[in-house]
Structure 1
């Protein structure tokens, strides 16, 4: 045993460097192994691949404010025999100690920890050298867990009583008695560490000695249970008798205690009576104090309420007071420009005063007070008086401003001088009263309706006068010769070229009219919307399109007076209000600008009379202005441009209809040969129309092309059918002329290209029909014989054809002799026939080439058929016929 302890001390000293300075409680040599089949395989204990290890139980020295910690170190031997750390377990995670049941020696056990990462892996098994090492290690582990952690792990496969008895026999203990209120308590500690208990949860040593003495006393009587029971009963009776005797001896003391208790009870009853009396008095006193405090609180509250009421009444009186200077300005003040600032201040005060007497800003409890109702009625009377006076002044003021401008002729265009309308001074004078109108709207929104009508009526007179004078002088100062409207008349020779007069000044005059008045009308609409307090987003004047420049008239720059209105914030709840405001604004603008369109119409009609084709350029100018307008408060301007565009389109369509009527007159002639007059003149018309387009009005012109060419082609077909004998000649000559005259335009105009291809197809069809007719006139028998053979080949074999009536070899020879004798003369006759009816000599070469090619193709087909049906018959070859045709 001494050798084992020496060995353990040596092992402890060897392990101390490897545990990092911690306090070593016990060290044990073990063998580590893992069971092949888990904890208890049916092949016995898991000692496969056992490795030598050392288990060391250590504790750390607790620092200030911290508790000690316990660790279980697994140490291994290095190659040099030095002990070094292999694994570390914290003892606080130990939950289970289990001895492997298949090991009969009991030296193999497993330790279960709750913080292992993989619970599916079987924990290692530790095998001791003997039972003493196992008990010594496990006993220290249990004691440390109890002392430091406050609990012990679950123990499986070990008898705790047996371990306690082993500890008593093998570990020297020192008994320390700790005295407390109940007597001494014995604790068993080891020699090495008196602070670690061994059997605290087991039977104490004193109790164990008493039990042994008692059992030793009654060992001899246990043989007979009845005698033993009788003996215990006698002893129990003796003990009870002794207890009763001791109680009787203490009776005098009990009497003294009872007397003392009665005296105390009497004193307690007296004390309770006195306390009851004092409690009643205190309750009455508390009620008096509460009554006094309640009266004081009410007086304080009444004082505060009175003070607050006085303050509120002072504020209310201040609201009800009408300053004398404002009252004078509202009831009888002047509206001169110098007094406008004072009037605006009075309006602002009146608006605020009326608003302050309404419920949102005034406490509802004051709303029905008599003084408030009277003061509200007085303010309403002031408002009605001021609104009536201001409205009457503004209506007269608008009329006087316009009358002054109309009476001064220098504001308008005069003979020999175009005058750009200038409303800067008018707007400046109106702007003086802009804030007044805003306050009138806040006071009475309905008062703006008659004011808007008065402003629109007055300004409408001025705008119409300016537009009329400008349009009259514009037409008078524009020099342009009138072109005749007869464009496609048959009486006009194709060599003539009417409409060569330059009429560009007409469209320039129209553009100048738009350049001057469209921005003016947009600006007036924007000014009117702001000046008359319409709740609409700000208007941004689109100005003039970038490709149209304003002319500087009278040396003045074209400047617009913009009010620089800020765009109001809009949300979904305001969209309906804005929409209704736009409707009201456009109705007012209709009154403001109505009638001015007549002067624009007059310019359009005047330009149409001079040159109808100028409608194309005017349409393009109008489109450019339309693209620069927005559908906003200047909606009337957009409507005016739409109406102008419609009127220009109507005038141009009128011209196209007249031209179509002129084309249709050609149909009434009895006999027309050669190229019809409207074919080349249409090319001239289309060329000029393309010059006027300039990238705009494409749809307008394309529609005119479609209508004109459709009438031209239908009229041509009707003229050709009037004389079927020469129908194909008329068609091919006119379709050829149409293609030649429009070749250049068809390359750049898709609509004309479509009709060009249509004319080309009609030309080819007419050529084919006319050439076939000429060929059949000269070689009728030859090709009739050919057709008979082809028809019979559908029903009989080629060998049977020579035996049919009229198709024998003799008939073939007679037909060839009659048809091909003098074939050169027949070919010349075809040429003369083709040349005879043509009026366009330039078409003859191409037609003759087509005719020869068609004849040779037919003759080649005839030769091939004869060679198949009559193989031995001699006939003029195709090469010989081609040589004769080329002569």
Structure 2
């Protein structure tokens, strides 16, 4: 047998030299052939799949607490020297599989669970013979077991065959032993060590002995099958004979048992006959008892029924009886406050009496009796009479209460005195009849609609009168200087102090109007919903002396939801009748405030929003509608102001040429500052929309004004955009909407500066930079070295251009500065624009100098540094 490459000491030393410096020890090195196959298919010949010579080396590295094991792949360089190609950690080895496509069994694959791409087939390793394959795989398995403590999955290899091979070839295999404690690797060929290691890993000694004993027994049984069969037959016959003998010995005992069973059967038959006789006698006795009980039950039933019938007739007669005091009260009693207790008591009796005659409170057979029908008709007449009288009285009562209050001027605001409406006495008087209204609703709902309309009609007169007098006196007593609406037009002078008047009293007056009347209207809506029975009252805890509305606080805002859709619709209609028309007085206050100071719409809008957010959970739907209408009217008035301001801005474009900063630029900053001071609550959106509309018109008008004279277009733009930024710098830091327009103005300013500076530069150095542009255009089609020979760009032309443009360059630069100074109306912009101009000129000259150095080598022009120094000195 040829010597295995695993025993080649020179190969091991070459491997150690290749991994020198890694502090790893080589346990085994062996030559292999590397190839690639396709999963599930046989390998195909190709340039990329040709077998390549490689060397596999098993190495370990000792650590303080554990030892690491590696599988290294080494390849031959062009000079035939081994060099490292790939490294695998054996702790990630998950599978060892022998390729079935190779009949010799010398080709195998190693599967690692940490490879990034599992879709690519791993390389196949081919050994010279099966001995080399087994030798390498046993070394890998021993290292995995000793160092790592686990074994990979083995596919395609018979473990028993490998154990037998290891046992036979132990003397020829060196044992690699890893000392886990001290770390160094020791090589020794010890037969007993190898044997113990292999057998411990694959099949233990005890398991091998048990397998040999089992196999020996199995072989012996096969060779003596006939003798074994004869022996089993003889044993079966002996067992059957013994069973028959035992049965015959037990025959007397069986006879004795059969005799006892016969005696027991006779006793059972006698007992069955006796039980039949007793059953017949008991059935006759049961029939007699049932007959007696039936007769007794019928007698008892007659007695109970007669007693119940007498009781029912007594109760029916009691229901049909109408007490005289209730009849007199219902038909002709007084509705004065002192008699309301009798009226309520009579109503309660009438309600219960009517309910007691209705099914299912009364038996259906009684309900069809003529006397019951007649009595029900009589109660209906009483109900209609009383409801008609009560309804007429309440309509007149509501009207008289309101007429009394309207006739007394002390209830309303007067000159020099604002009067807060006070309805406490009115509600107290109405509360007296709240229980009566509840009973009217239960007796006849038809009368409630007329009562609700009468109450709404009367109280609407009172509320509108109170609101009108309060609003008139509020406007009369509020002192405020009127601010003009023309904010964004007209000249700005040193003594100009427009729009500085304090108009806070206007917003305070509007807020006072809401503070007084919104809670009042909410309370009136709540009181009306309770008083006019738009929700069921909780009668469970009420006593006969309760005369309130069935709620804890009639003036509170905690109203239960009206769940019935029809009741909710009726309530909304009634609230409309109750409060309709009062909005006109609120509108009058809004219009009056707008005329004094349109910007106060912002404050009023915020005040209204706060009231709207506070009324969301309230049942007073009409109050929310009123607040929404007020908010819309305020927004509409403010939109009128913004539209007028936009018209004022647009009028600038119809003027003749304008120089310097347009008047509306600084005026807008003043306007925005005032608007920010007026913002309250959530009025941010209202103001932001106004900013967007105004600034958009400002920029559009500025562009049109600038375009009126193309010569000064960029100057007008940059001066005005600069003024816009300067005036709004502080506000833009705190107002996101203005910050957006600030950045837009900044971009437009930079663009106008760039165009203006380019114009200034080209005016003085047009010939120089046109020459540079002509060279750049030629470089697209002609090689750089051929350009000096083209017409118009020769070296002579260059010299002429440089001489004409750069001789006296300091005077040209001074001329640029003077033109810049002459055209600018804003002196504060001059320093920054001059710095931009010098930088732009220096950048252009730098580009020109680079072109000259590239196209005309050897030609000298003033250097960029000289030009920079010249500009710095000016």
Normalised by the size of structure 1, how large is the TM-score?
0.65
Please tell me whether the aligned partners of residues 674 and 730 of structure 1 are also in contact (alpha carbons under 8 angstroms): yes
Corresponding residue SS for 1:865: helix
Matched, 1:686 2:686: no
Cα distance in 2, alignment partners of residues 384 and 824 from structure 1: 114
CA deviation map 1:631-651 (0-9, x unaligned): 543001101110110011111
* Change beyond 3 A, Cα 1:164–1:849: closer
Matches within 5 A, 1:399-414: 399-414=399-414
Please tell me whether the aligned partners of residues 523 and 561 of structure 1 are also in contact (alpha carbons under 8 angstroms): no
Cα distance in 2, alignment partners of residues 667 and 610 from structure 1: 29
TM superposition shift of 1:519: 0.7
- The equivalent residue for 2:34 is none
TM superposition shift of 1:803: 1.3
Please tell me whether the aligned partners of residues 582 and 633 of structure 1 are also in contact (alpha carbons under 8 angstroms): no
- The equivalent residue for 1:845 is 831
- The equivalent residue for 1:724 is 710
- The equivalent residue for 1:26 is none
* Change beyond 3 A, Cα 1:467–1:327: same
Matched, 1:744 2:734: no
Cα distance in 2, alignment partners of residues 494 and 655 from structure 1: 26
- The equivalent residue for 1:810 is 796
Matches within 5 A, 1:406-805: 406-493=406-493, 496-535=496-535, 562=554, 578-630=564-616, 632-805=618-791
- The equivalent residue for 1:337 is 337
Cα distance in 2, alignment partners of residues 811 and 885 from structure 1: 26
Matches within 5 A, 1:833-872: 833-872=819-858
Please tell me whether the aligned partners of residues 413 and 473 of structure 2 are also in contact (alpha carbons under 8 angstroms): yes
Please tell me whether the aligned partners of residues 424 and 561 of structure 1 are also in contact (alpha carbons under 8 angstroms): no
Gap runs ≥5 in structure 1: 1-35, 45-100, 109-155, 169-186, 188-196, 205-281, 539-559
Please tell me whether the aligned partners of residues 718 and 753 of structure 2 are also in contact (alpha carbons under 8 angstroms): yes
CA deviation map 1:769-796 (0-9, x unaligned): 0000010000111011111111111111
Cα distance in 2, alignment partners of residues 537 and 880 from structure 1: 100
- Report the RMSD for the aligned CA atoms in angstroms: 3.3
Cα distance in 1, alignment partners of residues 515 and 258 from structure 2: 118
Matches within 5 A, 1:276-291: none
Q: Among residues 159, 163, 178, which one is paired with 2:246 in the alignment?
A: 163
Cα distance in 2, alignment partners of residues 832 and 722 from structure 1: 24
Corresponding residue SS for 2:619: coil
Matches within 5 A, 1:101-140: none
* Change beyond 3 A, Cα 1:583–1:493: farther
* Change beyond 3 A, Cα 1:613–1:293: closer
TM superposition shift of 1:354: 0.9
* Change beyond 3 A, Cα 1:566–1:413: closer
TM superposition shift of 1:585: 0.7
Gap runs ≥5 in structure 2: 1-212, 222-230, 261-283, 539-551
Matches within 5 A, 1:175-254: none
CA deviation map 1:151-177 (0-9, x unaligned): xxxxx8574552366789xxxxxxxxx
Cα distance in 1, alignment partners of residues 856 and 293 from structure 2: 151
Cα distance in 1, alignment partners of residues 588 and 741 from structure 2: 36
Cα distance in 2, alignment partners of residues 871 and 537 from structure 1: 107
Corresponding residue SS for 1:665: helix
CA deviation map 1:675-705 (0-9, x unaligned): 0111001001001100111453000000000
Please tell me whether the aligned partners of residues 610 and 681 of structure 2 are also in contact (alpha carbons under 8 angstroms): no
TM superposition shift of 1:817: 1.2
TM superposition shift of 1:410: 1.5
Please tell me whether the aligned partners of residues 760 and 816 of structure 2 are also in contact (alpha carbons under 8 angstroms): yes
* Change beyond 3 A, Cα 1:300–1:846: closer
Cα distance in 2, alignment partners of residues 807 and 530 from structure 1: 100
CA deviation map 1:4-56 (0-9, x unaligned): xxxxxxxxxxxxxxxxxxxxxxxxxxxxxxxx99xxx9999xxxxxxxxxxxx
Please tell me whether the aligned partners of residues 350 and 383 of structure 1 are also in contact (alpha carbons under 8 angstroms): yes
Cα distance in 1, alignment partners of residues 300 and 469 from structure 2: 84
* Change beyond 3 A, Cα 1:105–1:860: closer
Cα distance in 1, alignment partners of residues 374 and 781 from structure 2: 121
TM superposition shift of 1:493: 3.8
* Change beyond 3 A, Cα 1:813–1:370: same
TM superposition shift of 1:563: 5.5
Please tell me whether the aligned partners of residues 536 and 581 of structure 1 are also in contact (alpha carbons under 8 angstroms): no
- The equivalent residue for 1:226 is none
TM superposition shift of 1:818: 1.1
* Change beyond 3 A, Cα 1:739–1:517: same
Corresponding residue SS for 1:426: helix
Cα distance in 2, alignment partners of residues 537 and 639 from structure 1: 27
* Change beyond 3 A, Cα 1:536–1:664: farther
TM superposition shift of 1:477: 1.5
Please tell me whether the aligned partners of residues 506 and 607 of structure 1 are also in contact (alpha carbons under 8 angstroms): yes
TM superposition shift of 1:495: 6.3
Matches within 5 A, 1:259-274: none
- The equivalent residue for 1:884 is 870
Cα distance in 2, alignment partners of residues 829 and 294 from structure 1: 140
Cα distance in 2, alignment partners of residues 828 and 656 from structure 1: 47
Matches within 5 A, 1:139-150: none
CA deviation map 1:479-536 (0-9, x unaligned): 1111111111133447623111111111111111111111111111111000000027
TM superposition shift of 1:619: 0.4
Cα distance in 2, alignment partners of residues 403 and 355 from structure 1: 39
* Change beyond 3 A, Cα 1:808–1:566: closer
* Change beyond 3 A, Cα 1:160–1:600: same
* Change beyond 3 A, Cα 1:561–1:398: farther
Corresponding residue SS for 2:605: helix
Please tell me whether the aligned partners of residues 789 and 801 of structure 1 are also in contact (alpha carbons under 8 angstroms): yes
Cα distance in 2, alignment partners of residues 402 and 607 from structure 1: 32
- The equivalent residue for 1:824 is 810
Normalised by the size of structure 2, how large is the TM-score?
0.66
CA deviation map 1:710-747 (0-9, x unaligned): 01000000000001100100000000000000001001
TM superposition shift of 1:297: 7.8
Cα distance in 1, alignment partners of residues 809 and 817 from structure 2: 13
- The equivalent residue for 2:350 is 350
Corresponding residue SS for 1:314: helix
CA deviation map 1:360-416 (0-9, x unaligned): 111111122111111111111111101100000000000111111111112111121
Matched, 1:875 2:857: no
Cα distance in 2, alignment partners of residues 597 and 836 from structure 1: 61
Corresponding residue SS for 2:491: coil
Cα distance in 1, alignment partners of residues 803 and 465 from structure 2: 94
